[in-house]
Copies of this chain bind each other. A is one copy, B any other.
């Protein structure tokens, strides 16, 4: 079954916001067995929407559009739907009741004329209930193509997808099964990994596809295959995986489609150990990465961002003599930071970062791109220095990748 995704909005075409909706939809459609052929981002002008509706007709089985459903004048998707499907807007009473209740309870005010417009939908549309917002989703079929329109606000779009829409898709589309095997590697570059895998990759069955997805410090491989029977496909993938060269296997951190923090959290939880962070140049990003994983409270004690140098000494407890002697970006200070974080947060492990991520030099005279990472474990504490180049974004992400790799290796040294 073929699908396409269309995100609507001039703000996307001038880069005012990053489109996260299409990645979410692509992932969910893939799980349901759809092949997403193309993702389009188009203007919210009438002609652009009309053109894409016509272009997709009988070309794909399913088109999901997001955006252009708000109550304001620049939202025109509903009008275009009426023209394209030769339909008229009629009030939907369920939606009207819902919008009225939502406004009274949440905004403590009566429904306005502009709000009322949200309850109007094309007469032949199937309404997809939006429990968390005022704009409903809509579904209409034309020819062999099913068109779905969802609001552009990410959590509203996701809520409708998980609710009414996925129920509809599961019961109305007979899908082929697609199985992806993720192989998350750390500590080896893309081209070196490609060299290691060259022979193995050349001998892959012709219906299997291998993709490389590099990011600072890690390469995510994805091996995919389609067919009828999920179990048979997974078995085939497993057999091929078993043949992967040992040199590549040594770099694998997970065969699940997870991020590295989740892997570390799992290893900590198995061992009933805890972790904390003292982050200067990474600005709290390690804390954010860990705190967004559900159930992390059993192993994540917390973090500190001692941005000002004085805070490192007065609050975190780093010895000011060490700062004076070695400068704030030094392995000595990184060690002190990791030790103090471990102590103050009462954690088994700690990671610290101090460095200069640029664009300008701060309280330190070291080269931009220099980062010292401190690691505290139940038995030792040490630090390493990295030169991570530029720009800032790369330095921060690379520092995080190095810190995670170091602490992971320490944690798995201990028996489960």
Contact = CB atoms under 8 A, between A and B. Distances in A.
A3 to B, nearest CB: 10
Nearest to A11: B213
Nearest to A257: B16
Interface in A315-333: 315
Contacts of A38: 13, 40-42, 48
Interface string A121-153: 000000000001010000000000000000001
Given A114-B194, A132-B390, A284-B291, A20 B18 contact: yes
Q: Which of A14, A201, A213 has the most CB of B within 10 A?
A: A14
Nearest to A42: B38
Interface string A45-63: 0001000000000000000
B305 A394 contact: no
Nearest to A345: B311
Given A212-B72, A306-B302, A394-B155, A14 B26 contact: yes
Interface string A251-267: 00000010000000000
Q: Is the interface of A mostly helix, strand, loop or mixed?
A: mixed
Contacts of A291: 283-284, 305, 307
Contacts of A345: 308, 311, 315
A363 interface: yes
A28 B14 CA distance: 8
Interface string A275-310: 000000001111110111011110011111111101
16 contacts: A10-B211, A11-B211, A19-B19, A40-B40, A70-B190, A70-B214, A72-B191, A112-B195, A114-B194, A287-B305, A288-B288, A302-B305, A302-B311, A303-B304, A308-B345, A314-B344
CB-based closest 4 A-B pairs? A15-B27, A283-B291, A284-B287, A15-B26
Given A13-B39, A18-B20, A284-B288, 11 more contacts: A16-B23, A38-B40, A107-B192, A154-B393, A283-B287, A284-B287, A301-B308, A302-B304, A302-B311, A311-B346, A315-B344
Interface of A: 9-20, 22-30, 36-44, 48, 70-75, 107, 112, 114-115, 132, 134, 153-155, 158-159, 180, 189-192, 194-195, 198, 201, 209-214, 220, 222, 224, 257, 283-288, 290-292, 294-297, 300-308, 310-311, 314-315, 344-346, 359-360, 362-363, 389-394
